[in-house]
Amino acid sequence: MTDSTTAHGNDVLSVRDLRVWYGTERGAVRAVDGVDFDLRPGETLGLVGESGCGKSTLGRGVLGLLPASATAAGEVRFRGENLVALSEKELQGRRGPEIGLIFQEPMTRLNPLMRISQHFEETLRVHEPGIDKQEVRLRSLEVLRRMGIPPTRYRNYPHEFSGGMRQRLMIALTLVLRPAFIVADEPTTALDVLVEAQIIRILHDLRHNFGTAMLLITHNLGIVAEACDRVAVMYAGHIVEEGDAKQVFSEPAHPYTRELLRSTISLRTTGLHYIPGAPPDLVEPPTGCTFHPRCPDAMKVCADLDPVETRPSSQQRVACWLHGPEDRIPDGGREPLARQEISVADEA
Ligand SMILES: Nc1ncnc2c1ncn2[C@@H]1O[C@H](COP(=O)(O)OP(=O)(O)O)[C@@H](O)[C@H]1O
Ligand code: SF4
Ligand SMILES: [Mg+2]
């Protein structure tokens, strides 16, 4: 989705036409296929979508943390530099002190033989070699306090903490470096609901306490409603809708967003609503709108032409033919897509 959006002067991060593909025997998996978004200081952007839509690839692509089989192109502007164009060595220097990543499984990142204090010491020393012990202690205890971990636990080992506490430790270890921007990829998926709520509250407070901007990847729309300023909905490597979280949730403009919301809400109420079918194979995605084989509103134009991004309101953008632009829709293009065509595409 490219349009004439220009970077705001005060953005922390400006992503333009980012593309990431994985080389495989079957061909290129186009996991991120032309993504644009901006992040302002202290802002939290939720990234949602079904599994396999490219959310983790986008988060890692932004940080330059992709496996060797992946190729990235486009722009990730951070403080005037295009991160996509930097070498691995240059990127390493930016990670930690400026940009950080919070993973899903904290135990894999904590060394069971090292005390928490030693984790902080090591993390800080790597990026701020001259730092003294007193400063390490002050900075670490401050960030632990913000995470609701008492100073008495400073010298404990990782196994002495519960899963939720360990995740908070990981967040603390990321934040102690005071990054301007972090990516949190499903940070609470492995946790129970109560602990999850606690961590979401902490993440929600982050922007006030640290001014850290965050890309929060989750499949849980409740978390987005609670902790995010804006939300971006991802489908088949594209951002199909983006806007103010409250507005998008109350007036979803894209049929995929609407279906995603329905499937969440009905989990809490009566019957279970599934979006029929599954996200497409990203080696050979459907033509036109990639959602057309599953879309209840699909029209003739949807199967042929890529949707053009439009703005239903100043804070919202959407890529769906239902919203025009009218002058780009061919004659008869608004007629419903025949059911038969839908099921054929479904099986393909
Ligand atoms: N290392 C990889 N090699 C090949 N394909 C990959 C690799 N990692 C992810 N993919 C594919 O890229 C697509 C997007 O995956 P991912 O970014 O993990 O999505 P999400 O986080 O939304 O579940 C999927 O089709 C997935 O199978
Ligand atoms: S472009 Fe067409 S198929 Fe795609 S979401 Fe909109 S109505 Fe549905
Ligand atoms: Mg993922």
Q: What is the DSSP string of 186-228?
A: STTTTS-HHHHHHHHHHHHHHHHHH--EEEEE-S-HHHHHHH-
Q: Which of 147, 177, 207 is the last residue of a domain?
A: 177
- Total domains in the fold of the chain: 2
Residue that is last in its domain, among 128, 151, 177 = 177
Q: Are residues 234 and 328 in the same domain?
A: yes
Tell me the C-alpha distance between 127 and 95, whole Å.
Answer: 9
Give yes or no for a contact between 242 and 313, defined as CB atoms under 8 angstroms apart: no
Domain identity same for 172 and 132: yes
Q: Looking at the structure, tell me whether residues 189 and 44 fall in a common domain.
A: yes
Residues 305 and 329: their CA atoms lie apart, in Å, by: 9
Looking at the fold, whether 75 and 162 belong to one and the same domain comes out as no
235 Cβ closer than 6 Å to some ligand 2 atom = no
DSSP string for 198-209: HHHHHHHHHHHH
CATH number at residue 271: 3.40.50.300
Any domain includes 287: yes
Three-class SS state of 53? coil
Mutual angle of helices 133-146 and 163-175, in 10-degree steps = 130
Residue 201's pLDDT is what? 77
> Averaged over 245-272, what is the pLDDT?
81
Average pLDDT (141-168) is 90
- Does the Cβ of 294 fall within 6 Å of ligand 2? no
Is residue 317 within 8 Å of residue 243, measured between CB atoms? yes
Which pLDDT belongs to residue 319? 98
In the prediction, which pLDDT does 193 show? 73
Domain identity same for 148 and 201: no
Ligand 1 center–CA 54 separation, angstroms: 6
Q: Is 266 part of a structural domain of the chain?
A: yes
Opening angle at CA 210, ends 66 and 185, nearest 5: 30
Q: Which of 24, 25, 29, 239 gets mutated to test ligand 1 (max ligand atoms within 8 A of its CB)?
A: 29
Whether residue 7 is predicted with pLDDT greater than 50 in this model: the reply is no
Q: What six digits make up the tokens of 193?
A: 């609901």
As a whole number of angstroms, the distance between CA 241 and CA 252 comes to 8
- 84 CA to centre of ligand 2 in angstroms: 31
Identify residue 82 by its one-letter amino acid code: N
| The predicted structure's pLDDT at residue 1 | 43
Q: Are 188 and 284 found together in one domain?
A: yes
pTM of the model: 0.89
For the chain, give the mean pLDDT: 86
Mean pLDDT of 264-279: 69
332: amino acid identity, one letter = G
Sheet with 70-78, edge to edge strand ranges: 27-39, 13-24, 70-78, 81-82
Mean pLDDT for the stretch of residues 81-104: 79
Mutating to test ligand 1, I would choose from 18, 22, 63 the residue with most ligand atoms within 8 A of its C-beta, which is 22
Question: What pLDDT does 12 receive?
Answer: 85
Cα 44 to averaged position of ligand 1 atoms, centre (Å): 23
